[in-house]
Amino acid sequence: MTYRNIVIVGGGPAGLAAATAAYDAGERDIVILEREEMLGGILNQCIHNGFGLHTFKEELTGPEYAARFEQLVYDRGIEYRLGSTVINVSADKVVTYVSEKEGLQKISAKAIVLTCGCRERPRGGINIAGARAAGIFSAGTAQKLVNIDGYMPGKEVVILGSGDIGLIMARRMTFEGAKVKAVVELMPYSSGLNRNIVQCLNDFNIPLMFSHTVVDIKATDGRVSSVVIAAVDERLQPVMSTAQEITCDTLLLSVGLLPENELAGYANVQLSPVTNGAVVDDQMMTDVEGIFECGNVLHVHDLVDYVSEEATHAGKCAAAYVKNGNTATEYVPTCGTNGVRYVVPQKIRKDDNYEQISLRMRVANAFRNVELAVLLDGEKIVSRRRPIVTPGEMETVVLNSELVKRVKQGGKLEVTLLGGTK
Amino acid sequence: MNDVLIIGAGVVGCSIARELSVWNLRITVVDKENDVAMGTSKANSGIAHAGFDAHTGTNKAIYNVLGAKMLPELARELDFPYRQNGAFVLCFDESGRPKLQELLEQGIRNGVQGLSILEGDQVRAIEPNVSDKVVAALYAETSGIVSPYEMTIAYAENAAVNGVEFLLDNEVRGIKRVESGFEVTLKDRTLLTKTVINCAGVYADAIYNMVSDKPLFEIVARKGEYCLLDKKCGGLTDKTLFQLPTAMGKGVLVAPTTHGNIIVGPTAEDVPDKDDVDTTFDGLNKAFNTASVSVPSLARRNIITQFAGLRAHADVNDFVIGESDVPCFYNVAGIESPGLTSAPAIAVDVAKAVAEKLHAVKKDNFVAKRKGIPCFAKMSDSERQQLIATNPLYGRIVCRCENVTEGEIVDSIRRPVGARDLDGVKRRTRAGMGRCQMGFCTPRVMEILCRELGMEMTEITKCGKGSHIVVGRTE
């Protein structure tokens, strides 16, 4: 067993930013554990551009964005171990990992930052009936095959779900000579960014069919040969009279991302059934003292810029925790109401001395001309006008922490939508 | 010249091959698929039935009880996952009690031990998630769970170690009776054999009818659809939960798997196409909704995958076992539930009969024991440390959901009757069996298969034949 002040589990965008911030806050005893053979996480396979507009005011590809944060880690000489998979995190903050080089190792940490990212919801998670054939991929798996390994998963493609990776892959597969026949979305709106719909589908005349789903998958000789799609009613049940068959050899699924919280579970960290991530306070600390979470393992973000921002805060707070211990005394709970599906953090330290607190949230439905309001014990303290909010785009409201100090005993912060049209 | 040709590499064919390999015989197993356990043996409930269901005196009843008694020792000898977890047959209505009593009495007549009837509250005291509506249940202490494909693979590997040859991806196209026995035409060769054992599952009638036009039996493919739940639901039940049986079978069950998932199903629907293992919208709903009657707290959001299997139901309503009207041609057909449990006992009897027919003598170098692939996920940390010290590839996790290492995947490919495709690796190591369902590990496992088998990425399949994963290089 070795002893470290901060162990960061995951060397993707969140882990890199958290490590850098912890270092810049004065902490020197940091190690990043990364299971892949390179830092950068999922950004390595995101070779399209559009990253970093907020952070760097320029458009970068995924690997370029990652490289900037990797450089910060290299510059500071922060230690990292590649090919090192963490297999357990205990509630008393012992991290167990294995690697080819080191075998099985245990590190006792003062603080742990979980930055393990998320995974894609598989076919089984949405119960699509039909053949269990080759040619069915989650969009991210196809992205890895195309962008990293250089292989085409298929020639004629239908995509179920309009999540960002699905949209990006529609364009990518088209560039590579495949025919993308349709993107089929169960909901009446997309869960992806609007800019991706324009740049990845509209520009290539790929039809996006809202309120439709795949009801059957057919196969010949073990490989997908067609899919049957149908419209769904307002209860999202397929209307079989609308069924139509589309010939294809590939079905890509972009039907949601799930924070990968197995390790948090082993450490008995309380998880939110809404975000599937940990319940954290405004310092990104979970209910297990000294275990922090940020990035897509905490809740699925729309832009990596916000991952970096959140992780920077988490890294800073982890360093402060190592130095000062737990300073939390009293919490104010947060909640989302009237169409605000969740708010992260789920609670705010009343004694917090950070000036600004970012509340991040997603809405359950698309609304136009809506007011995003923060209510403190029912009193409106912040109001933001939004021409449109959609489930695909994360919303952020920045609060002055002084406001939180006004909350009375037993009071709460509520983020809500006022007015607006669906 | 073969002494024995076994057609079908499911649990029946592989177990017979292993029991026959005790003797000095030249034995070949052929199967049309790319791996063993590709039919019913990979897609069933994985229950080691206690033996109270089948009518007393039938082959099903006899072999079930015999097989159930063999399984605990066999699982140790061949190192496959098995656990005696016990089962309840749930009764939701006072009017069902006489039926429970009948099952109990039938079980006792069949020679099943450890049967009793419990009241609803007693059942819930043991399994708190069982429905409040349950008024009573038959408890079968000796019921168990087994990993059906791993049991088949274990039998196949041990048979191969003892000299049995496996010809996979090699469909039987015709069988001709010749003076010395049979001339069997396969996809890529012709074999001569003294005896044939027909273990062809849903195709057993077609294989038999290659040598005889007698309508001895007909096999109906009876589809069963299943859902598999995430391991985090593993605590929902420890016992196997049946409902009172119906004419179509033992009904929908909720059970733990040997790996800690929860399995729900099967439905029962006769299908005309003997290759139809598609899941259906209605079937999945039915399996899930029926299972929810037993365990109301089952949640759809925890389903990680669905699958369907075909039971080989013989119209004669019992196992068809033994030498047919064609001398030296043996049928082992209609092996539907409780076929998995019965297989070890059937294998011993059939092997004995065939060996006697061929006047075979026993080998002096038969290897009875098999050691499976080390399972990193189930080890203690110190065991893991030792394992990685033997080979650093055991320190490289490939499947993050099930914690499967590259070392295990390499093992699965290099072993006798080793994996040749993604699903083969999956069944042997659990890489891809977890909650992401091969999302992350697909490309990695493909690379390892390429390296180990000297194949190109474009040649790698999901499960043989045309099931290629990638179609070519990018531009």
Summarize pLDDT for B384-410 with one digit per residue, the tens: 999 999 999 999 999 999 999 999 999
- A389-399 burial: b if 16+ Cβ within 10 Å, else e: bbbbbbbebeb
Whether the Cβ atoms of residue B330 and residue B324 lie closer than 8 Å to each other: yes
- Nearest CA among B261, B141, B272, B167 for reference residue B218: B272
Verify that A415 and A355 share a domain, yes or no. Answer: yes
Q: Do the strands B2-7 and B190-198 form a parallel or antiparallel pair, or are they unpaired?
A: parallel
What is the pLDDT, as a whole number, of residue A345? 97
Residue that the structure tokens 């049928």 belong to: B331
Q: Where are the alpha helices (DSSP H) in B79-127?
A: 97-110, 120-126
Verify that A68 and A21 share a domain, yes or no. Answer: yes
Mean pLDDT of chain A, nearest integer: 95
E strand or H helix at A99, and its extent? strand A94-99
CATH number of the domain to which A402 belongs: 2.60.40
Q: Do the strands A103-114 and A2-9 form a parallel or antiparallel pair, or are they unpaired?
A: parallel
Verify that A239 and A314 share a domain, yes or no. Answer: no
**pLDDT tens sequence across A375-386:** 988 889 999 999
Average pLDDT of span B145-170? 98
Q: How far is B345 from chain A (nearest CA, A)?
A: 32
Verify that A200 and A274 share a domain, yes or no. Answer: no
**pLDDT tens sequence across A154-174:** 999 999 999 899 999 999 999
B391 touches chain A (CB under 8 A): no
In the predicted structure, residue A352 carries a pLDDT above the cut 90: no
Question: For residues A252 and A140, what is the distance between their CA atoms, to the nearest angstrom?
Answer: 9
Mean pLDDT of chain B, nearest integer: 97
CA nearest A35 in B: which residue? Answer: B397
Domains of chain B: 2-40+149-217+316-357 (3.50.50.60), 82-143+219-314 (3.30.9.10), 376-459 (1.10.10.1100)
Does the pTM of the predicted model rise above 0.90?
Answer: yes
Q: CB within 8 A of B282, min separation 6: which ones? A: none
In the predicted structure, residue A124 carries a pLDDT above the cut 90: no
Instruction: Write out chain A residues lying below 8 Å of B281, CB-based.
Output: 129, 215-216, 238
User: Which of A196, A224, A255 is the last residue in one of the domains?
Assistant: A255
- Nearest CA among B25, B442, B430 for reference residue B228: B430
End-to-end, the C-alpha distance of chain B in Å comes to 51
**pLDDT tens sequence across B339-363:** 999 999 999 999 999 999 999 999 9
What is the pLDDT, as a whole number, of residue A24? 98
Verify that A336 and A297 share a domain, yes or no. Answer: no
What is the pLDDT, as a whole number, of residue B434? 93
**pLDDT tens sequence across B307-323:** 999 999 999 999 999 99
User: Which of A275, A304, A327 is the last residue in one of the domains?
Assistant: A327
Residue that the structure tokens 């995003």 belong to: A372
Verify that A397 and A421 share a domain, yes or no. Answer: yes
B471 touches chain A (CB under 8 A): yes
Whether the Cβ atoms of residue B281 and residue A129 lie closer than 8 Å to each other: yes
Query: Is the peptide bond prior to B338 cis by the omega test (within 30 degrees of 0)?
Result: yes
CATH number of the domain to which A320 belongs: 3.50.50.60
**pLDDT tens sequence across B85-132:** 999 999 999 999 999 999 999 999 999 999 999 999 999 999 999 999
Q: B248 falls in which pLDDT band (50, 70, 90)?
A: low
Q: How far is B391 from chain A (nearest CA, A)?
A: 8
**pLDDT tens sequence across B412-454:** 999 999 999 999 999 999 999 999 999 999 999 999 999 999 9
Verify that A262 and A241 share a domain, yes or no. Answer: no
In the predicted structure, residue A402 carries a pLDDT above the cut 90: no
Is B49 in the active site?
yes
- Whether A123 and B393 lie within 8 Å, measured CB to CB: no
Structural domain span for residue A22: 1-119+256-327
- B308-318 burial: b if 16+ Cβ within 10 Å, else e: bbbbbbbeeeb
Instruction: Write out chain A residues lying below 8 Å of B469, CB-based.
Output: 134, 145, 153
Verify that A232 and A173 share a domain, yes or no. Answer: yes
- Whether B463 and A222 lie within 8 Å, measured CB to CB: yes
Average pLDDT of span B8-37? 98
Whether the Cβ atoms of residue A10 and residue A307 lie closer than 8 Å to each other: no
**pLDDT tens sequence across B182-198:** 999 999 999 999 999 99
User: Which of A198, A224, A255 is the last residue in one of the domains?
Assistant: A255
Verify that A322 and A401 share a domain, yes or no. Answer: no
- Nearest CA among B50, B48, B113, B36 for reference residue B81: B48
Report how many domains make up chain A: 3
Average pLDDT of span B208-236? 95
Verify that A209 and A230 share a domain, yes or no. Answer: yes
% of chain A residues with pLDDT over 70? 100
Verify that A298 and A281 share a domain, yes or no. Answer: yes
Q: Determine the 3-state secondary structure of B133 from DSSP.
A: coil
ipTM given for this complex: 0.95
Q: Determine the 3-state secondary structure of A246 from DSSP.
A: strand
Question: For residues B281 and B260, what is the distance between their CA atoms, to the nearest angstrom?
Answer: 26
Q: How far is A284 from chain B (nearest CA, A)?
A: 25
Verify that A85 and A208 share a domain, yes or no. Answer: no
What is the pLDDT, as a whole number, of residue A350? 85
